[in-house]
Amino acid sequence: MSKIAVLGSGQVGQVLADGFLKHGHEVMRASREPAKLEKWKAGAGAKAHTGTFAEAAKWGDSVVLAVKGTAAEAAIELAGVQNLAGKTVMDATNPIADGGPQNGVLRYFTDINESLMERLQKKAPDARFVKVFSCVGSALMINPKIPGGPPTMFIAGNDKGAKAEVQKILDQLGWETADMGTVEAAHAIEPLCILWCIPGFLQNDWMHAFKMLKVG
């Protein structure tokens, strides 16, 4: 069991923090204003802690980045590049542009030949980034029960050891893992969120996940 820092006071931060606690990990959840997480901490048990982005990044054996996409680079700066060095950073962010969807289709502030995770990896070159949790809604992140499942979590990152750590966590959380390769594969994984959200915006259907089907 490990110490996981969860940078994010939103829905994804809460769901992942609760999921990690359920599986026996110790969690520090972080915000620019940690006081707003006190209520969560009070109900989350003895292994739940709160702190600033920098305190959590320093404390964790590994780190989850679950902040607004437009703020991800700022959050890495607040966490402290030196505090992330050598650590696995599970990057759940998507580069969603402000302004909302058009006919159900979100707009990104990155283009198809780059990704947010590459920007983050450049900003913190010694952190071991792994794209994960970005291609499914928070309601299904922890031990999803879906007919035809388990669903597939697409991951990518440069460090094989970091991806092995993430795969172990995904095994606990009830996911099948598909490793798509190095950081550049985030070009392909991040836009899956756009596709995943379309049934939500058009039909209010948010309860689905991707699965990779294979012959043999």
Ligand X SMILES: NC(=O)c1ccc[n+]([C@@H]2O[C@H](COP(=O)([O-])OP(=O)(O)OC[C@H]3O[C@@H](n4cnc5c(N)ncnc54)[C@H](OP(=O)(O)O)[C@@H]3O)[C@@H](O)[C@H]2O)c1
Per CB under 6 A, residues contacting ligand X are 8-13, 31-33, 66-69, 71, 74-75, 78, 92-94, 96, 133-134, 137-138
Give the length of the chain: 216
Nearer to ligand X, 32 or 41 (CB): 32
44-66 burial, b at 16+ Cβ within 10 Å, e below that, comes to beeebbbbbbbbbbbbbebbbbb
Alpha-carbon gap, residue 201 to 203, rounded angstroms: 6
Alpha-carbon gap, residue 155 to 39, rounded angstroms: 32
Nearer to ligand X, 28 or 215 (CB): 28
* Neighbouring C-beta atoms of residue 181, cutoff 10 Å: 13
Alpha-carbon gap, residue 204 to 70, rounded angstroms: 25
Q: How far is the CB of 215 from ligand X (least distance, A)?
A: 29
Nearer to ligand X, 70 or 161 (CB): 70
Residue nearest to ligand X (CB): 10
Q: How far is the CB of 110 from ligand X (least distance, A)?
A: 12
Q: How far is the CB of 44 from ligand X (least distance, A)?
A: 16
Q: How far is the CB of 190 from ligand X (least distance, A)?
A: 9
Q: How far is the CB of 112 from ligand X (least distance, A)?
A: 17
Nearer to ligand X, 1 or 105 (CB): 105
Nearer to ligand X, 190 or 216 (CB): 190
Q: What angle do CA 70, 76, 80 make, to 5 degrees?
A: 155
Alpha-carbon gap, residue 86 to 104, rounded angstroms: 39
